[in-house]
Structure 1
Amino acid sequence: MTSLSVPALTAAAGTGPITSAGTAQLGIAVLAAVALIVLLITRLSLHAFLALTIGSLALGVLAGAPLARTITSFTAGLGTTVAGVGVLIALGAILGKLLTDSGGADEIVDTVLARAEGRAMPWAMVLIASVIGLPLFFEVGIVLLIPVVLLVAQRGNHSLMRIGIPALAGLSVMHGLIPPHPGPLVAVDALHANLGVTLALGVVVAIPTVIIAGPLFSRYAARWVDIPAPEDMIARARPSAEPEHRPRFGATVFTVLLPVALMLLNALVDIVVDDPADPVQRVTDVIGSPLIALLAAVLVGMFTLGRAAGFTRTRLSATVEKSLAPIAGILLIVGAGGGFKQTLVDVGVGQMILDLSKNWAVPTLLLAWLIAVAIRLATGSATVATISAAGLVAPLAADMSTTGTALLVLSVGAGSLFFSHVNDAGFWLVKEYFGMTVGQTVKTWSVMETVISVVGLGCVLLLSLVL
């Protein structure tokens, strides 16, 4: 993925160092800005876009930077971030909408569940969620899968947590660790990581993580919270308007996995060939870029999903249009997070952390994870935690290898998932869909998120020892 270095970003903002504040003042400014963002989001229920904007301006002022230069840094960071990932988020939303409206998602669900029985059901649910979760945002995946979870639990007389936790784990791991989800994409851009290598290592980390946090942890979650599927939610299970035909299972899976396969192919060729002048590598560099890979999947999906479901050209156009409106808020939050990150960089916080870390005994990967954990606990947003933490640790990636930088992205992503609680919208979404109390949601969902975060970090640290 083409991205700008930290110096390039600063130049793009039209600024040099915008403050001469010392370490103490910068530290206080960062803590105050983060505290302000937390207060605005959690106490005043202000939209994260506005909170991040106000927090960025406050950061610059408290660090002693001129307000005009702070505004320039924020807007430059916002623009760079949206330019880097905005189109990818839009393409992912279109693919997800095609998958949902065509019945392709239902086809995957029905096919996998038809082959799973008894003890295999939790494993089937984590597989479904992981595949469905590749092109879908977390909230969309929950809305899509929860009716399936409730019906499977009811009809098969399964514990709700035994079925639900694997599905949630699959969605959450995809959301935090695997591009093209917004958080990992922004971290790849901020840390200048190779997207293909990050994707490949992300899959390696995701597999054991989702197994431990999903089917294995669900055994304990089912004991701690033994509740049936709520009848009112089952009654409200999505009343879908069935398309004329469903796309075939093979074609649906092919479409969903196409962008992932193209990006992995690009990473493999880059490693094996390692010659920018080689014609094969030049071709794979183009088709394996995230923009082209996702665009190809969308175009293919219009035929394998939309046309296969009997969609007319008008219906296809309407589907694309409907997919874009809901992501406006996501784009604004991601963009504002990029603006906050750039403000952190331009006031010198990144360099401050780099200087201080030279005397710390904390490994870089663990430090990145801890910073992401702190921001996640404070703001409740995995995406905000990923974007902010990536901006803070970006200077640490300057001298790292391609593999090391990719692992740094995954470390930040793992930290961003730590212990979802009451300031996270996902917490309330899960609570309401499963009909649980706050305490029950903490025992299941919150603990599951913590397991994902800790196991993910452990896998990253293990890979750092062998790669």
Structure 2
Amino acid sequence: MTTLPLAQLAADAPPALPHTGSQGQLLLAALLGIGVIVLLITRLKLHPFLALTLGSMVLAAVAGAPFDKLTSSFATGFGATVTSVGLLIGLGAMLGKLLADSGGANVIADTVLARSGGRKLPWAMALIAAVLGLPLFFEVGVVLLIPIVLLVARRGNIPVLRVGIPALAGLSVLHGLIPPHPGPLVAVDALHADLGVTLALGLLVAVPTLIVAGPLFARLAERWVGHLDIPERTLPVEAERPERAPSFGAVLGTILLPVVLMLLKALVDVVVDDPKDAVQRAFDFVGSPTVALLIAVLVAMVTLGRGAGFTKARISATVERSLAPIAGIVFIVGAGGGFKQTLVDAGVGNAVSSWADKLHLPVLLLGWLIAVLIRLATGSATVATITAAGIVAPLAAGMSSSHTALLVLAVGSGSLFFSHVNDAGFWLVKEYFGMSVGQTVKSWSVMETVISVTAILIILPLSLVL
């Protein structure tokens, strides 16, 4: 089973925190640690990085760790997570920035919409969002895609939620379930899942989930919310598009390249199943997440950058500008890894495992429920994924690669449950669509819940046949 090596070493290292406390004390430590994180994020509006750091210290202290060891596990987990996941987030940001600045996102949108109309439009918007959602972070996807959605709704005189909900669903499903988005990547790392298998099963779960939560739910949301007036301030500024744009084929091929490479690696691993075989070793190299994304970025510099008429200097500047906005994401993800490692080293995971055995809860359902509770409390899908994955990590030991991948997806789907007022995405969607809080709850919040519930209802039966 392929894993991210440094994170594996960190997880396999001897515990940095001596944990002699009872299971009750360890579970109390976990609850208090999570409670501190929730309080700091929701009430005191502290940055999640600081909240996760302080929550880790509280957890270690309550678990009985000596004061001189309070930060040792956190530092180990932080370093291992940033090393393994930070590279992927950075490369993904570069690819997304090249896609945005070159006009590639508009090329995809314009091409698909030109061939769709009437009843096909909601399905077209779901497809566009799913394709663009592969390399783009959720917030970037919203900023790029929603103005196009609003413009299409105005030009076609179509209720905005009929095309808006499928677009939001496409972005959200990819954000919660599919690497290389930060949450799924960290869950793959924490649970030692095979990235290729997770990606393949993630796509298998994502497609029907998107259909239910996108075009199908859009009709219901449209009736619940009623007519919306499209805010003028959110319509796109056409002048911002570059004079020249890359071709549709070049854009689509570049976006899908890393996904294809990782899926091919997983397929060759299954078919050949010989680590010494030259073909398998070659695909193991090019299909590893870091190399696959690196190849895609290098290709994008030509197909997207040069395809849009950018000079070498402008391509370099675009890549450079992509890194600054993700610094906060990298630190949050790293702190989540530190919190996860503190949970593991303190023995909380083993205590949860024992508790789950007594309740006879399926591991997949337990991971989903934990992620749901943390999502409701903190509003952050990434924090929910990271924390839940750390808690259930010991339960993944001995699981098959397919079941470990399904556990990653169960945690990811739980992290999307019912976005509300403590989630930045809630307010982003509210402002773009010009909705009231109540209208946003009826549309966006319920849509997120539909995604979460539909995904776990697909994942649980899959676990019985794989």
**TM-score for the superposition, normalised by structure 2:** 0.97
List aligned pairs for 1:48-59, cutoff 5 A.
Answer: 48-59=48-59
What is the rounded CA distance, in whole Å, between the counterparts of 1:273 and 1:7 in structure 2? Answer: 25
TM-fit CA distance, 1:25: 1.4
TM-fit CA distance, 1:230: 2.3
List aligned pairs for 1:10-21, cutoff 5 A.
Answer: 12=13, 15-21=15-21
The question of whether the paired residues in 2 share the 8 Å contact of 1:161 and 1:226 is answered with no
The question of whether the paired residues in 2 share the 8 Å contact of 1:142 and 1:168 is answered with yes
What is the rounded CA distance, in whole Å, between the counterparts of 1:238 and 1:351 in structure 2? Answer: 54
- Between 358-367 and 45-54, the greater mean CA deviation after superposition: 358-367
Partner SS, residue 254 of structure 1: helix
Q: Does residue 1:323 correspond to 2:361, yes or no?
A: no
Q: Indicate the percent of aligned positions where both proteins have the same amino acid.
A: 66
Tell me the residue number matched to 1:338.
337
TM-fit CA distance, 1:18: 2.1
Provide Cα deviations, 1:372-408, integer angstroms capped at 9, x if missing partner: 1111111110000101110000111101001110111
What is the rounded CA distance, in whole Å, between the counterparts of 1:428 and 1:159 in structure 2? Answer: 20
TM-fit CA distance, 1:227: 2.6
Tell me the residue number matched to 2:115.
115
Tell me the residue number matched to 1:309.
308
Q: Does residue 1:358 correspond to 2:357, yes or no?
A: yes
The question of whether the paired residues in 1 share the 8 Å contact of 2:228 and 2:435 is answered with no
List aligned pairs for 1:185-204, cutoff 5 A.
Answer: 185-204=185-204
TM-fit CA distance, 1:234: 4.2
TM-fit CA distance, 1:358: 2.1
Q: Does residue 1:2 correspond to 2:3, yes or no?
A: yes
Tell me the residue number matched to 1:399.
398
What is the rounded CA distance, in whole Å, between the counterparts of 2:181 and 2:208 in structure 1? Answer: 20
Tell me the matched-pair count: 465
What is the rounded CA distance, in whole Å, between the counterparts of 1:233 and 1:430 in structure 2? Answer: 14
- Between 357-366 and 401-410, the greater mean CA deviation after superposition: 357-366
Query: Structure 1: which 5+ residue stretches go unaligned?
Result: none
What is the rounded CA distance, in whole Å, between the counterparts of 2:237 and 2:183 in structure 1? Answer: 28
The one-letter amino acid of 2:129's match is A
TM-fit CA distance, 1:4: 5.2
TM-fit CA distance, 1:3: 2.7
The question of whether the paired residues in 2 share the 8 Å contact of 1:153 and 1:229 is answered with no
The question of whether the paired residues in 2 share the 8 Å contact of 1:178 and 1:203 is answered with yes
List aligned pairs for 1:203-222, cutoff 5 A.
Answer: 203-222=203-222
Provide Cα deviations, 1:129-172, integer angstroms capped at 9, x if missing partner: 00001000000000001111111111111111111100000000
Tell me the residue number matched to 1:95.
95
The question of whether the paired residues in 2 share the 8 Å contact of 1:6 and 1:345 is answered with no
Structure 1 residues 294 and 229 mapped into 2: Cα distance closer, same or farther (>3 Å)? farther
The question of whether the paired residues in 2 share the 8 Å contact of 1:160 and 1:226 is answered with no
The question of whether the paired residues in 2 share the 8 Å contact of 1:151 and 1:234 is answered with no
CA RMSD in angstroms, aligned pairs only: 1.4
What is the rounded CA distance, in whole Å, between the counterparts of 2:12 and 2:196 in structure 1? Answer: 27
What is the rounded CA distance, in whole Å, between the counterparts of 1:369 and 1:11 in structure 2? Answer: 25
What is the rounded CA distance, in whole Å, between the counterparts of 1:36 and 1:274 in structure 2? Answer: 46
The one-letter amino acid of 1:460's match is I
Tell me the residue number matched to 1:247.
246
**TM-score for the superposition, normalised by structure 1:** 0.97
TM-fit CA distance, 1:245: 1.2
List aligned pairs for 1:127-146, cutoff 5 A.
Answer: 127-146=127-146
Provide Cα deviations, 1:43-71, integer angstroms capped at 9, x if missing partner: 11111111111111111111111132120
TM-fit CA distance, 1:351: 0.9
The question of whether the paired residues in 1 share the 8 Å contact of 2:228 and 2:434 is answered with no
Tell me the residue number matched to 1:68.
68
Structure 1 residues 234 and 59 mapped into 2: Cα distance closer, same or farther (>3 Å)? closer
Give 4+ residue runs of structure 1 displaced > 6 Å after superposition. none
The question of whether the paired residues in 2 share the 8 Å contact of 1:382 and 1:416 is answered with yes
The one-letter amino acid of 2:209's match is T
The question of whether the paired residues in 2 share the 8 Å contact of 1:377 and 1:420 is answered with yes
TM-fit CA distance, 1:16: 4.4
The question of whether the paired residues in 2 share the 8 Å contact of 1:373 and 1:416 is answered with yes
TM-fit CA distance, 1:359: 2.1
The question of whether the paired residues in 1 share the 8 Å contact of 2:234 and 2:432 is answered with no
Structure 1 residues 398 and 464 mapped into 2: Cα distance closer, same or farther (>3 Å)? same
Partner SS, residue 71 of structure 2: helix
What is the rounded CA distance, in whole Å, between the counterparts of 2:218 and 2:6 in structure 1? Answer: 42
Tell me the residue number matched to 1:78.
78
What is the rounded CA distance, in whole Å, between the counterparts of 2:24 and 2:8 in structure 1? Answer: 23
What is the rounded CA distance, in whole Å, between the counterparts of 1:54 and 1:371 in structure 2? Answer: 20
The one-letter amino acid of 1:376's match is R
Query: Structure 2: which 5+ residue stretches go unaligned?
Result: none
What is the rounded CA distance, in whole Å, between the counterparts of 2:335 and 2:8 in structure 1? Answer: 20
Provide Cα deviations, 1:95-132, integer angstroms capped at 9, x if missing partner: 00000100111100000000010000000000000000
Provide Cα deviations, 1:410-462, integer angstroms capped at 9, x if missing partner: 00001010010111110111111111111111111000000000000011112
Tell me the residue number matched to 1:382.
381
The one-letter amino acid of 2:376's match is L
Tell me the residue number matched to 1:457.
456
Tell me the residue number matched to 2:279.
280
Structure 1 residues 238 and 182 mapped into 2: Cα distance closer, same or farther (>3 Å)? farther
TM-fit CA distance, 1:228: 2.6
Structure 1 residues 449 and 212 mapped into 2: Cα distance closer, same or farther (>3 Å)? same
TM-fit CA distance, 1:239: 5.2
- Between 241-250 and 139-148, the greater mean CA deviation after superposition: 241-250
Structure 1 residues 54 and 41 mapped into 2: Cα distance closer, same or farther (>3 Å)? same
The question of whether the paired residues in 2 share the 8 Å contact of 1:107 and 1:248 is answered with yes
The one-letter amino acid of 1:97's match is K
The one-letter amino acid of 2:270's match is I
TM-fit CA distance, 1:36: 1.1
Partner SS, residue 217 of structure 1: helix
What is the rounded CA distance, in whole Å, between the counterparts of 1:447 and 1:323 in structure 2? Answer: 32
What is the rounded CA distance, in whole Å, between the counterparts of 1:405 and 1:364 in structure 2? Answer: 10
What is the rounded CA distance, in whole Å, between the counterparts of 2:245 and 2:165 in structure 1? Answer: 28
